[in-house]
Structure 1
Amino acid sequence: MGDILNPAQDHVAAPIVPLRPLGKVLAVTSGKGGVGKTFVSANLAAALAKRGHRVLVLDADLGLANLDVVLNLYPKVTLHDVFTGKAKLEEAIVRAPGGFSVLLAGSGMVEYSRLTPEVRDDFLRIMSGLIPHYDIVLLDTGAGISDVVLFAVSLASEVLVVATPEPTSLTDAYATIKVLVGQQKRQNIRMVINQTARLGDGRAITTQLQQVLDRFVVTEPGRPIRLIHLGDIPSDPSVRQAVMRRQLLMQSTPGCPAAMAISQLAVKLEDTVINQKV
């Protein structure tokens, strides 16, 4: 882990001013792409909806949105239309398979790949219109630490970082967490380790990450960083089959090991986020 998480490999991000996080909003993010972040967002939403919660997933990856692909949806109205004033917010909200709502970005929104004052204002307007109507809003952010990603994360009361056991994923997860702590003064960050090979691998990885953060990341006195291991999602051939078929795992094979793990994640989020008073 010492070689994997080399503190010398720090990333540099443009500073942003953190806003007061909004309640009942969970940002699902990652240090690098390809770790299953959107897969986790969509299936976690389905698991929470099955438990009776009103859930919305907002595709906050404005430049490379793919939530529509994962859910096999072809929206006529997207977040782009709302941003540009061509449609009202409620017109862009689509019912997804799995019983939750989605607000899809539409791919290739190049003009929204940079954090301009207009993008900030649009995001804030959208979020303030959504939050009163749902028990929880999941922000499926882009990967990495661009200013747009960090701004989207700053709107959330809770952060969930998805990583895999691969060295590159862990290095980028460390860099992302370091920036979130430094810029947004985050204290508690939840971790999900996807594609684990053995039971307990994810908890061990989270513990190692915690040790590296404790050693190399300076925090304010009395405000230590706490990584909360939410759980693992084991490697499971059913996942690839569901993704290739553009189906939710929670619907196609709800009894497989990965789906059962996601159900357990939903229970933990219900107890620690949704049912907590804002």
Structure 2
Amino acid sequence: MSDAQSPSSMPSASGPVQQPGKPAGARIIAITSGKGGVGKTFVSANLAAALARRGQRVLVLDADLGLANLDVVLNLHPKITLHDVFTGKATLDEAVIAAPGGFSVVLAGSGMVEYSRLTPEVRNQFLSVIETLTPRYDVILLDTGAGISDVVLFSVSLASEVMIVATPEPTSLTDAYAAIKVLAVQQKRQHVRLIVNQAARPGDGRAITSQLQQVLDRFVSTESGKPVRLLHMGDIPVDPTVREAVMRRQLLLLQTPGCPAALAVSQLAGKVEEALLHRAQ
């Protein structure tokens, strides 16, 4: 995998973008999940705020083209969305807006059935957006849809790194395993990073990562013949203030920065910066 990747080589959903040399621009990180309702968009938004606090130029791109809800989490009411850019009603610059927390966002309208399928037109428009934004930021977080649809896999294919958000619930872990398997087989991913949200006890995430790794070792291998590596990035503990922040449509890092979940997100940002962003420079 290259450290930062540009979409100029026109990828498919079968693999991440490849570009020779070391391209300049943002590190593109996809934040995805096997199933919905695990806090993926919450993680994307608050991680962006935590990275911005650390001096990174951050943009979150709402890549859930059919069921977008990043605007709800951030309490934003955009006049211009990706739909307007795709239909030529507005420019991309007009769609980039400032979010609470010191980062930028490009929001997608929700309920757009025409974007639930990966047509060549949607694919090309999405590529153009990424190509334009990449030189302007240090990191772009792609808040993708959940699952393994062609639109989700295409969004993920644009990223050099993938972080799966899962909860300890069996259904979440089963779907996370399915998503990781697809990423290993179709996109030739050698490793995938895991964030465990709503962890009940310290150490739960590492135990879950170890259990999933054992299943992957047994049933999934990459193109090289080696098992896909699952890298534990951190846990976000069960914390009642998270629900309060979500209900108020406020970033947890702004509302209660000292609560356990906010501190965990801040630690996650430090790990992301150390593992992914410093290495890319």
Q: After the TM superposition, which residues 1-278 of structure 1 pair with which residues of structure 2 at under 5 Å, given as runs?
A: 16-20=13-17, 24-221=27-224, 223-277=226-280
1:120 to 1:84, Cα distance in 2 relative to 1, 3 A: same
Contact 2:236 2:264 in 1 (8 A): yes
Unaligned runs of 5+ in 1: 1-14
Query: What per-residue deviation string (whole Å, max 9, x for no partner) do you get for residues 78-134 of structure 1?
Result: 010111111111100010000000000011121011000001101100000011000
The letter of the residue matching 1:17 is S
Contact 2:38 2:167 in 1 (8 A): yes
**Distance (Å, rounded) in 1 between the aligned partners of 2:278 and 2:16:** 23
The letter of the residue matching 2:58 is V
**Distance (Å, rounded) in 2 between the aligned partners of 1:133 and 1:230:** 26
**Distance (Å, rounded) in 2 between the aligned partners of 1:21 and 1:60:** 20
Give the aligned length. Answer: 264
**What SS does the corresponding residue of 2:125 show, helix, strand or coil?**
helix
Query: What per-residue deviation string (whole Å, max 9, x for no partner) do you get for residues 189-231 of structure 1?
Result: 1100000110000110011000000001133335431111000
**Distance (Å, rounded) in 2 between the aligned partners of 1:275 and 1:86:** 38
- How far has the Cα of 1:273 moved from its partner? 1.0
Residue equivalent to 1:6: none
**Distance (Å, rounded) in 2 between the aligned partners of 1:21 and 1:249:** 36
Unaligned runs of 5+ in 2: 1-11, 20-25
Contact 2:220 2:227 in 1 (8 A): no
Contact 1:92 1:104 in 2 (8 A): yes
**Distance (Å, rounded) in 2 between the aligned partners of 1:93 and 1:216:** 42
**What SS does the corresponding residue of 1:56 show, helix, strand or coil?**
strand
**Distance (Å, rounded) in 1 between the aligned partners of 2:18 and 2:193:** 16
**Distance (Å, rounded) in 2 between the aligned partners of 1:91 and 1:83:** 12
The letter of the residue matching 2:14 is V
Q: Percent identity at matched positions?
A: 73
Contact 2:200 2:237 in 1 (8 A): yes
Residue equivalent to 1:5: none
Contact 1:44 1:262 in 2 (8 A): yes
- How far has the Cα of 1:277 moved from its partner? 2.6
Residue equivalent to 1:4: none
Contact 2:16 2:159 in 1 (8 A): no
Contact 1:21 1:155 in 2 (8 A): no
Contact 1:58 1:138 in 2 (8 A): yes
